[in-house]
Amino acid sequence: MRKDLIIGAVANYTKDKIVEYVQSINKSGFTGDKIMICYDLPNETMEYLNQNNWMCYEAQTNGHPHMKRLIDMWQILETHITGYRFVITTDVRDVIFQTNPSDYLEEKYYYGDRLSGWWEKTEVFVASERLQYHKQEWNIKNIHEGYGNIYWEWIKNKEIGNVGIIAGKGTGVKALLMLNWLVSQAGDVRHYTDQSSLNLLIHNDLIKDKVTLVNDLCLQVGTLNEELDIRDGIVYNPITNKPYPLIHQWDRNETLTKLFKTK
């Protein structure tokens, strides 16, 4: 069976900034490859990643690493390591894995067993922020800073996808990384255009049938609109009654910080 991959990117982080992320993946049962794009990391951080079986690829920043990571991830998947079944790309510092993401993706993609074929046309799942653009101040500011007012009427009532949590078929995630990079460079790159460019893409009629916004892959704490359902140290999705595979922006919530922060 082809391997799965988790890939992330960090810049200038000390070890303490990534401990929760790394250890949560170790505990999740994930058995695939792990790759980190490393921008100016201290030696201690690199050593810690290597000790935990991460493949580290050193790269140079050019502008914001938030955007640069898109093309660097694509290039690694295109030229160095290919053929992954599933690829999961996430933010790092503020992400916790509660369960094995491969299990989640298998449930999404396969009918009953692995021999039954792919599910529908979806190539990529993007974590939803569960709000329309016009209801979230940071995203309103972000789309206007990057692209002005030209797309506002078109996107204001569309659901926000979060660029920090993307997962799906290896080929689909790789293609989306390339397109996201290209569209991000069409905006005002003095600002962070990675999230706004993603949303311009995933809602475009030409490719929107290839991407599905999902509420059950990740709890987006930054736009949390529900009471936390915590049982035995695990955060559950009240709709599915299953643990959220990932928690994003956990450090913005006092309860979750106490729950996940490494002592």
Please report, in tens digits, the pLDDT of each residue of the chain (263 residues total).
Answer: 689 999 999 999 999 999 999 999 999 999 999 999 999 999 999 999 999 999 999 998 877 888 899 999 999 999 877 789 999 999 999 999 999 999 999 988 875 555 556 555 689 999 999 999 999 999 999 999 999 999 999 999 999 999 999 999 999 999 999 999 999 999 999 999 999 999 999 999 999 999 999 999 999 998 887 889 999 999 999 999 999 999 999 999 999 999 999 75
> What's residue 119's pLDDT?
55
Place of tokens 């999902």: 214
pTM for the structure as a whole: 0.94
> What's residue 1's pLDDT?
65
> What's residue 115's pLDDT?
59
